[in-house]
Amino acid sequence: MKKRLSAVFFALFLFIASAVPVSAAGDLPRLVDDADLLSDSEEAALQNQLDEISERQRVDIVVVTVNSLEGMSAMEYADDFYDYYGYGFGNTRDGILLLICMEERDWYISTCGYGITAVTDAGLEYMSEAFLSDLSDGNYAAAFTVFAELCDDFIRQADAGTPYDVANLPREPFGVFSNLLIALGIGFVISLIATGIMKSKLKTVYSQSAADNYSIEGSFQLTKERDLFLYKHVERTEKPKDNDSGSSGGSSTHTSSSGTTHGGGGGKF
């Protein structure tokens, strides 16, 4: 009888939570580290960061870690956690939630309201590529910090009227490849200076107008000659791409168990 009453009260709580949207600015924490991935100091720093961005942008930025999905998919768990606990600003429940599940090694970003506008499908892929390496390496605090910073940037870009999407994703920061190119460029300049110095010391050697001028007279006799076709030039024109190939951008959406519209996506780490 006691278990039955508990189930009834829990169902009533879910109904009330889904019917009356509230902001996480109340008693709801924007960081729920049930998997205990962060130290106390990391939790405090991330919580402050999430609160500051959320209150300033009026869009809830939430990070949730769990050990198990309890038989649900990552999408279902993330959407339901967001809906039934009442996250999101305003009537449109504006927010972005990152879910991490350690048992299944799943990650999922659930967007709602203005979060769907700010984080398009292409933007979500860009965002995940930025934090997945830290997530896979166990650098959880770093991964969550990158997620929060990108949410802030994506919301600011959406406010400007042009959300990050297929045609205007953020520029990639200088990485290892860029640094390698810079190093090669510096090495090339140094090599030019070195060869220039060596060339200036060759006082007895002068360039000749023909190749046979470099050989000793009578030491070389040409007995046969022929022309060989060594190179060809081919022009290729790219075939126009189908405009219906799915690269038009925007955010794909779905309906959660509470009837709320969500965007988002996820994968493994």
pLDDT tens track for 229-244: 565 555 555 555 444 4
pTM above 0.75, yes or no: no
Between CA 47 and CA 31 the distance in angstroms is: 6
What residues form DSSP beta bridges with 261?
255
Confidence (pLDDT) at 181: 55
Mean pLDDT of 187-212: 64
141-184 tens-digit pLDDT: 999 999 999 999 999 999 999 999 999 898 764 444 445 555 56
Give the three-class secondary structure for 87.
Answer: coil
Q: Compute the mean pLDDT over every residue in the chain, rounded to the nearest whole number.
A: 81
Tell me the DSSP string of 216-229. Answer: PTTS----------
pLDDT of residue 69: 97
Nearest-angstrom CA–CA distance, 176 and 179: 5
Check residue 178 and give its pLDDT.
46
Strand order in the sheet with 60-66: 31-33, 60-66, 95-101, 106-112, 261-268, 253-255
